Amino acid sequence: MSIRPLTDLELHGRRVLVRVDNNVPLDEAGNITDDTRIRASLPTLRHILDHGGRAILMTHLGRPKGVTENLRVRPVADRLSEHLGQSVGYVRGTVGPAAERAVADLANGECLLLENVRFNDGETRNDPDFARELAALGEVYVNDAFGTAHRAHASTEGVARLLPERAAGFLMQKELDYLSGAIENPKGKLVVILGGAKVSDKIGATRRFIEIADALIIGGGMAYTFLASRGEAIGKSLLEDDRLGFVSEILDQSADLGKQILLPVDHVVADSIDSGETALHVDQIPDGSMGLDIGTESRRQFAEAIGEAGTILWNGPMGVFEIGAFAGGTRKVAHAIADATGRGAVSIIGGGDTAAAVNALGLAGRMSHVSTGGGASLELLEGKVLPGVSVLEQG
């Protein structure tokens, strides 16, 4: 990809329109509960401000239907101010006279956060008029919001077409380098771990990885559709009947290609997700139980395969990790990846629930890269074109 790096832009005295992904979780009182995404945007913002740019930030927050008071981005501006060590302005409008005045008042090295871009329905529709109003606020465009790059929205795609001087921020560039590198030039043996609830969420990824990975590990709820396709009893475990044909095809393809697919050989089961106190380790799932985590032997086998990898991609937990009784498989896989990374493997954590699990376990710092984009990272790994990335490419 011929994408201009941020370091190539002349920033001094210029209005730099920056799309960040500061879509952070809030509690009922409006307090930020996890500012990982805010901290991830700081290197790009510091570079712009240190070089005398006038940073005008755009982000979404949640999924509002019009103006939604509890989804205003003022808490994000306050947290950015703390991290940057300087006041970050905030305007209760994304475009229009108030936003224009606030932008006009910016001095070199100052920063302003516009209101939640999704308060305007033109954002998700990639409305040309809304994109033009946004573009009029800046002279240069920087996209550092990898987590939204798979969406062709006004602030991620439409506005970029209107500002010919455009570049990728440091976070965006890092995401592209790691994820593309893992696919195009993996170090050593490529081991891919897929988990999460549904096969249907990862059809494209599974098709891609069975071709390029040396080994594919499948856990989480999606594993039970694979096991059912082989005729194994899965009790009340999650099953997607309409995907049985697909998983049979994948298993046949893996055999034809000589690729290794590892599936759980034992399980942690309970009558329901809420009955963690009665969880049992079993080799075969009884009729009245559901598999909610991988068992002890599965963890050992998965960890052994991870230990042989030179490059590791992980997307999706091994069980219902939010509940302690069903978190052991995810914990074991995370520690195995951290240990492999310590021995020199390249490890990439695919965002979303997987990143949340790694952060909760305190292991993020032991991974090579924890992606900020769940859907975006998966689509890039599948080989799809991301609108927010392709629009940055130079002609």
Determine the Cα–Cα distance for residues 72 and 93; give it in Å rounded to an integer: 10
CB 236 within 8 A of CB 267: no
Q: Do 289 and 235 meet the contact criterion of CB atoms below 8 Å apart?
A: yes
Phi and psi angles of residue 291, each rounded to the nearest 5 degrees, phi first: -75, 125
Q: Distance between CA atoms of 205 and 378, rounded to whole angstroms?
A: 7
**SS3 of residue 280 by DSSP:** strand
Question: How big is the chain, counted in residues?
Answer: 395
The Cα 201–Cα 205 span in angstroms is 9
Output the CA–CA distances (angstroms, integers) from residue 252 to 239, 240, 265, 310, 353, in the order listed. 19, 18, 19, 26, 29
Residue 89: CB atoms within 10 Å: 18
Phi and psi at residue 206, to the nearest 5°: -65, -45
> Locate tokens 């490059």: which residue?
311
Residue matched to tokens 């409008």: 93
Residues 6+ apart with CB under 8 A from 268: 279, 280, 281, 282, 291, 292, 293, 294, 295, 319, 325, 326, 328, 329
Within 10 angstroms of residue 243's Cβ, the number of other Cβ atoms is 20
Catalytic residues: 37, 198, 352, 375
